Every structure is written in structure tokens, then in C-alpha cells.
Amino acid sequence: MGIQVLAFGKLNLSLDVIRRQASGYHDMKMVMETVELCDDISIEVSEGTGIELTTNLPFLPMDGQNLAVRAAEVFFRELNLPPKRVTIRIFKRIPVSAGLAGGSSNAAAVLRGLNELLGMGLSREELMPMALLLGSDVPYCVVGGTVLAEGRGEILTSLDPLPGCHIVICKPNFSISTPSLFQRIDCGKIRHRPDTAGICEALRAGALDQVAVRLYNVFEDVLDGRAKEIMAIKRALIDAGALGAAMSGTGPSVFGLFDDEALAREAHLRLSKSYRETFLTRNRRETLI
């Protein structure tokens, strides 16, 4: 028996780091959004044992280092299910190590997919502890939509959905280490913080432009040598007519929100000439579970 599931990318409309926990993790305050840009996942469960993963990107780990494989392991282990053979195929479109939660979203989709395929009927609340075992962004990726994420990322509050818009995402050709960016941030010295309350208020009012002018990610201020390129992409998006732009997660992807489709298409075309991994997408307003 098998199932097909979609794993959507996420954006941080805002990202704030509040404090370092004793555990080494950080308390966050982030407004998250889901985009239509997605990976296709098929899951088959049959008699036997072992988890097999194949993807269209040969450089990705295919073993327990891959969060999709770990998600299947965790699902069977936490629910004490008898072992089965699980075959996962992923067609990736979301760029890897990009701040778009591609890996977390794959893991979340495997949890949702197995829940449905095996008829377990777990609620989103019941999936949350398993999701958090896999990573801080995985609980959000199980749920999707416009959400305020706090704690490590697992305390989720639904917000009024971001009005439908056109989104250009541009990933420059380098990657940023998430742990090293967290190490570099000093919560006592953050100079600019996003206006999270203002974003929530703008969402309540359904005012896309008021959300867009408040997009901000505190990691943009601790980027070191990479800041110039990130800022140049932000500026290019704004010059092309974006209502606002920011880096997503720990980067390096930068995105811009547009209310005008033609301007978004033009921005996508222009940035594609310099950046191979440039995408034109929309936000996805429905929650996933």
C-alpha cells in the first residue's frame, strides 16, 4: 500500500531570537508561512523490514542522516508498531540547506503520510512530540499555514492567513551553517528586532503591504561576509516592485512578497539570470492537517 504526499517549503515572515535556553537551543518568536513550492513524496509500506529512500538529488544522504528516513524510524518506534518495509521516494524542488525547511518539511510529510496510510488517526497534537524529536521546524511543517512559532519552534499559534500573494525566492550559491549562526547571535546585543506584534496586527487587518514592510530576520545582522550579497538580493527584489523582502530562517534564501503578478514574474526572470535557484511561487493558505 502506498500514498503520495506533498512537502511544502516555509518562509519566515519574521524571525526573532529571544534567549538562549540552558539546553543550548534558543527561544524563538517567528511568523511562519507556507509556500506552494514543494517536494513530491511517495511512501510505500510492505511486508519486510528496513527503510529505503531514493531521491532525484544523488548527493543527499539516503540513510538515517536523512530526516525523511528518521521520521519513518521515529513513527514506528514511538508508536511501537511492528516493523515493516518502508520505501520513500522524494522528488526535490525545494533547495537544500536554504532556510526553507526542505528537510524538515520532508520529515513532516512522512509523519502525515504514514499517519494516513497506516490509518493511525493521530491528531496534530499527537504528532507534535514526534515532530519535535526530528527538529525544531518540523512541528510547524506538520501543520503549515500562517503561524506564530515560539519556544524552540514547537509552541504554535494560528494567525490570520497572509493574504494571497506572489513570492519570488532566490537562493544564492552558498550555504550558511545553522549552528554557527546561532552561536554568533548574542541575544543581549540584537540591535533591530522584527515588529512581530505589528505583523500579527497587519495579518488581522488583511493588509499585505503592512505585513511586507515589517518582514525582518535578526540573523540578517550577523551574516559577516555574506551580508553584502543577501542585502543586494533584497534590494533587487524591492527595486523590482516587491512590497517587502527578507532572508528566511538561517538563510541564505531571500524572498520578496508581491501583490502584482507581472512584477513578480519580471523580478523572477531578472534574478534567474544571476541565480540558478530562483523560484516564483505563491503562499499556500490552507493548513495541512
Question: Does residue 137 carry a catalytic annotation?
Answer: yes
Distance in angstroms (rounded) separating the CA atoms of residues 250 and 154:
17
Binding mask 169-208 for ligand C5P (x = CB under 6 A): ---------xx--x--------------------------
By DSSP bridging, strand 244-247 and strand 254-258 are antiparallel
Q: What's the grid cell of residue 89?
A: 521516494
**Among the listed residues 13, 16, 26, 69, the single contact to ligand C5P using CB under 6 A:** 26
Q: Is there binding between residue 111 and ligand C5P (CB under 6 A)? A: no
Distance in angstroms (rounded) separating the CA atoms of residues 3 and 1:
7
Q: How far is the CB of 266 from ligand C5P (least distance, A)?
A: 35
User: Locate cell 494516513: which residue?
Assistant: 116
Site for ligand C5P in 27-56 (CB under 6 A): 28
Q: Are 113 and 75 in contact (CB under 8 A)?
A: no
Alpha-carbon Rg for the chain, nearest whole angstrom, is 19
Distance in angstroms (rounded) separating the CA atoms of residues 249 and 283:
16
Task: Give how far Cα 131 sits from Cα of 27, 82, 203, Å.
Answer: 17, 20, 27
Q: Is there binding between residue 135 and ligand C5P (CB under 6 A)? A: yes
Q: Which stretch binds ligand C5P (CB under 6 A): 24-32, 123-131, 140-148, 228-236?
A: 24-32
Q: Is there binding between residue 89 and ligand C5P (CB under 6 A)? A: no
Nearer to ligand C5P, 94 or 237 (CB): 94
CA 113, distance to chain mean position in Å, is 18
Q: Is there binding between residue 211 and ligand C5P (CB under 6 A)? A: no
Q: How far is the CB of 207 from ligand C5P (least distance, A)?
A: 29
User: Locate cell 488583511: which residue?
Assistant: 206
Q: Is there binding between residue 144 and ligand C5P (CB under 6 A)? A: no
Q: Which stretch binds ligand C5P (CB under 6 A): 21-29, 45-53, 56-64, 159-167?
A: 21-29
Q: What's the grid cell of residue 279?
A: 523560484
Q: Is there binding between residue 287 and ligand C5P (CB under 6 A)? A: no
Q: Is there binding between residue 249 and ligand C5P (CB under 6 A)? A: no
**Among the listed residues 1, 2, 4, 25, the single contact to ligand C5P using CB under 6 A:** 25
**Among the listed residues 136, 146, 253, 283, the single contact to ligand C5P using CB under 6 A:** 136
Nearer to ligand C5P, 250 or 278 (CB): 250
Q: How many C-beta atoms lie closer than 10 Å to residue 238's C-beta?
A: 15
- By CB atoms closer than 10 A (0-12, 13-18, 19+), residue 276 is exposed
Give catalytic residue positions: 10, 137
